[in-house]
């Protein structure tokens, strides 16, 4: 990735980068094969899309963040009249499971207590939130981090509704698929 506090551009790398990654990566062969399968079967238009966020160190004051494999901080950037309650996480949970099934169908689904969405509306009635995926026993953390980074892509996907890939969006503020009024501001990932 990048150094802490640098802006990170999350996107699908060009196909030429996969051979180099596979050769230099110290990941297990199973993890390498799952990762390669995920990215090699992704559509071409995905390599043309990017989201930007800051890579930040773990917040020592956040127990949710410390227990997570990945933490995504989001902020609403446009008003949306259909803002919903943060307690409605069923669609988020379903989306996370669907993302995971695409790259690692053999993994067990996330349980309800392993997905957390917490936040508040600020003085401008705009959502500021944190989404965490709890570390899971028996699941390679990197696979859950791929799920989380893909979710971050859905949140920050600014593709126009007339372009390929516009349907890969989810909005934490309105809890709707195919639209987003939010962006990703920071994310952290566990290293152990």
Average pLDDT of the segment spanning 38-56: 59
| Tokens standing for residue 37 | 């399968």
More confident residue, 43 or 162: 162
What is the predicted pLDDT for the residue at 119?
Answer: 85
- Tens-digit pLDDT profile for residues 4-38: 444 444 455 556 666 776 777 777 788 777 777 76
What is the predicted pLDDT for the residue at 35?
Answer: 72
In a domain, 1, yes or no: no
- Tens-digit pLDDT profile for residues 104-138: 899 999 998 999 988 888 888 888 889 999 999 99
- Tens-digit pLDDT profile for residues 92-101: 888 899 999 9
What is the predicted pLDDT for the residue at 14?
Answer: 58
Question: Residue 97's domain spans which residues?
Answer: 7-189
Of the chain, the percentage scoring pLDDT greater than 70 comes to 69
What is the predicted pLDDT for the residue at 189?
Answer: 83
DSSP-derived pairing of the beta strands 51-55 and 182-189: parallel
Read off the pLDDT band of 43 (50, 70, 90): low
In a domain, 2, yes or no: no
What is the predicted pLDDT for the residue at 49?
Answer: 58
Domain count, the chain: 1
In a domain, 177, yes or no: yes
DSSP-derived pairing of the beta strands 7-10 and 115-121: unpaired
What is the predicted pLDDT for the residue at 133?
Answer: 95
User: pTM to 2 decimals?
Assistant: 0.69
For the chain, where are the alpha helices, taking DSSP H only?
16-24, 29-40, 63-66, 90-103, 141-156
In a domain, 166, yes or no: yes
What is the predicted pLDDT for the residue at 169?
Answer: 83
Distance, in Å, from the CA atom of 20 to the CA atom of 165, rounded to the nearest integer, reads 27
What is the predicted pLDDT for the residue at 6?
Answer: 47
In a domain, 82, yes or no: yes
Phi and psi of 187, rounded to 5°?
A: -150, 155
| Residue owning tokens 């950037």 | 77
Decide if 147 contacts 99 (C-beta within 8 A).
Answer: yes
Read off the pLDDT band of 186 (50, 70, 90): confident
């Amino acid at each position: 990735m990048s150094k802490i506090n640098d802006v990170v551009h999350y996107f699908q790398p060009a196909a030429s980068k996969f051979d180099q990654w596979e050769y230099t990566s110290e990941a297990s062969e199973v993890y390498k094969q799952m990762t390669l399968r995920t990215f090699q079967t992704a559509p071409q238009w995905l390599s043309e899309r990017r989201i930007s966020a800051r890579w930040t160190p773990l917040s020592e004051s956040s127990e949710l963040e410390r227990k997570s494999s990945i933490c995504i901080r989001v902020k609403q950037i446009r008003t949306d009249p259909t803002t919903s309650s943060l307690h409605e996480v069923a669609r988020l949970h379903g989306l996370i499971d669907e993302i995971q099934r695409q790259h690692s169908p053999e993994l067990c689904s996330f349980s309800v207590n392993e997905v957390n969405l917490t936040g508040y509306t600020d003085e401008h009635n705009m959502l500021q939130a944190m989404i965490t995926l709890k570390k899971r026993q028996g699941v390679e953390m990197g696979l859950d981090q791929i799920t989380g980074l893909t979710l971050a892509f859905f949140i920050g996907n600014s593709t126009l509704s007339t372009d390929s890939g516009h349907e890969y969006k989810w909005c934490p503020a309105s809890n709707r698929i195919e639209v987003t009024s939010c962006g990703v501001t920071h994310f952290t990932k566990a290293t152990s």
